[in-house]
Structure 1
Amino acid sequence: MNKERIREIVEEIVKDSFKKSKMVPIAASNRHIHLSPEHVDRLFGRGYELTKLKDLSQPNQFAAKETVTLIGPKGKIQNVRVLGPARGRTQVEVSLFDGFTLGVKPPIRNSGDILGSEPITIQGPRGQLTINEGLICAARHIHMDTNDGKIFGVQDGDLVQVKVDGVRGVIFTNVLIRVSPKYKLEMHIDLDEANAAGIKNGQLGEIIGFESPKQVGGE
């Protein structure tokens, strides 16, 4: 048996143990932006294509080499990473602390739920634009594929509690479950949450119970 096959077997065993104990790996998301094709053109030039910097944990998603500057009433944040591929509507995800820096109050929303959210000005190398809505603080959530959902006994839109051990151990409530064949098992929190609980990327959390009522996730 070659080393590659041994590595694959070990990974399968580790993943299986996560699911049996309802453990999920956690990743802290830094501020970033998803751009519509129209806004890619306006910020970077007509016909511009985003350039992949590296793949993200979720299949077919990537961090682009391109960055933009966010401009608010009281300040600005430079070098905000663009994520690809381009999607239907522009969405900017920041932390609550970032909101203080910009002078805005981003609502805590599920991804895709941007109706009535905060406006923000976006500066690119070839242009500037202001969106009337689209700035949010992303609600904590767990991505998982359909098979994971069955193993964990959860459905898309469920809300659960997740316990994280450590010196600053915490129980996260209102964690949205997002189930889709295109997802890979991972819990996403923002940097404010990660820093407050002393959580590092790849650390494990345990699903310990359900919240009520259920709610449906966004995009």
Structure 2
Amino acid sequence: MSKGYVPVGLSNRHVHLSKEHIDILFGEGYELTVFKDLSQPGQFACHEKIEVVGPKGSFTMRVLGPARNETQIEVSLADGFTLGVVPPVRDSSDLADSPGAKIVGPKGEVVIDKGIIAAARHIHMHTSDAEQFGVQDKEIVSVKVEGKRGLVFDNVLVRVHKSYALEMHLDIDEGNAAGIKNGDKLLVL
């Protein structure tokens, strides 16, 4: 029996910076500027971009705000090949034993010894959505993609909080493999 449909948001490579690293990369006391609001309340894409340099290659990446406690670089597994690292598939903020990189900004650079991950697929749910879907925080579900490239995403973490907006997050590689785009509706099983 299915639980209902959830909209999907595809995530391209990006970086979350700590306040300390914002000051180093952009200048002491620098404040990130909003390019556009994201689906999750209080989260935003910034005008600011940085370069992430790995052992084999580099990418220019957009910064997402607001500042975090710890710098985190989110890439796809394919991006890892270009950078020359193997990003572990992890929940956000689980950075232990992940590879690091050099980050270059307009005013400085910093080397982090950990922080590159491929974000685990997950669904953000408001507490009322979780009640409607009959799930709890940290529950693992499967989600079905219907259509010509149909498939089932297993091991999808449900994250429930009163400040979240309903949306499933996949990285761009997962979305492309399933032939889906932002806003498509997927079936939670």
Interval containing the TM-score (normalised by the shorter chain)? over 0.9
Q: 1:181 and 2:162 equivalent? A: yes
Give the number of the structure with larger relative contact order, counting CA–CA contacts within 8 Å between residues 6 or more apart.
2
- Corresponding position of 2:34: 52
Distance (whole Å) between structure 2 residues aligned to residue 31 and residue 43 of structure 1: 18
Amino acid across the alignment from 1:117: S
Q: Which has the larger radius of gyration?
A: 1
* Richer in helix (by share): 1
Q: 2:136 aligns with which of 155, 158, 161?
A: 155
- Give SS of 1:67's match: strand
Q: 1:138 and 2:119 equivalent? A: yes
Moved over 3 A (4+): none
CA RMSD of aligned residues (A): 1.0
Q: What are the Cα deviations for residues 68-118 of structure 1, in whole angstroms up to 9, with x where unaligned?
A: 01101001112x010011011111100001000000000000001111111
Amino acid across the alignment from 2:98: S
Q: What are the Cα deviations for residues 118-167 of structure 1, in whole angstroms up to 9, with x where unaligned?
A: 11111101111111111100000000111111111101100000001121
Distance (whole Å) between structure 2 residues aligned to residue 137 and residue 190 of structure 1: 8
* Richer in strand (by share): 2
Q: Which runs of 5+ in 1 are unaligned?
A: 1-19, 209-219
Amino acid across the alignment from 2:13: R
Distance (whole Å) between structure 2 residues aligned to residue 42 and residue 129 of structure 1: 7
Q: 2:109 aligns with which of 118, 123, 128?
A: 128
Q: 2:16 aligns with which of 34, 52, 58?
A: 34
Q: What are the Cα deviations for residues 23-73 of structure 1, in whole angstroms up to 9, with x where unaligned?
A: 000011000010000000010000000000110000011100000011010
Query: Are the counterparts in 1 of residues 90 and 118 from structure 2 also a CA contact under 8 Å?
Result: yes
Distance (whole Å) between structure 1 residues aligned to residue 98 and residue 115 of structure 2: 6
Amino acid across the alignment from 2:37: D
- Give SS of 1:40's match: helix
- Give SS of 1:171's match: strand
Distance (whole Å) between structure 1 residues aligned to residue 96 and residue 83 of structure 2: 20
- Give the TM-score, by structure 1 length: 0.84
Query: What is the CA distance between 1:195 and its match in structure 2?
Result: 0.7
Q: 1:69 and 2:51 equivalent? A: yes
Amino acid across the alignment from 2:105: G
Distance (whole Å) between structure 1 residues aligned to residue 3 and residue 161 of structure 2: 21
Query: Are the counterparts in 1 of residues 99 and 113 from structure 2 also a CA contact under 8 Å?
Result: yes
- Corresponding position of 2:147: 166
Query: What is the CA distance between 1:21 and its match in structure 2?
Result: 5.4
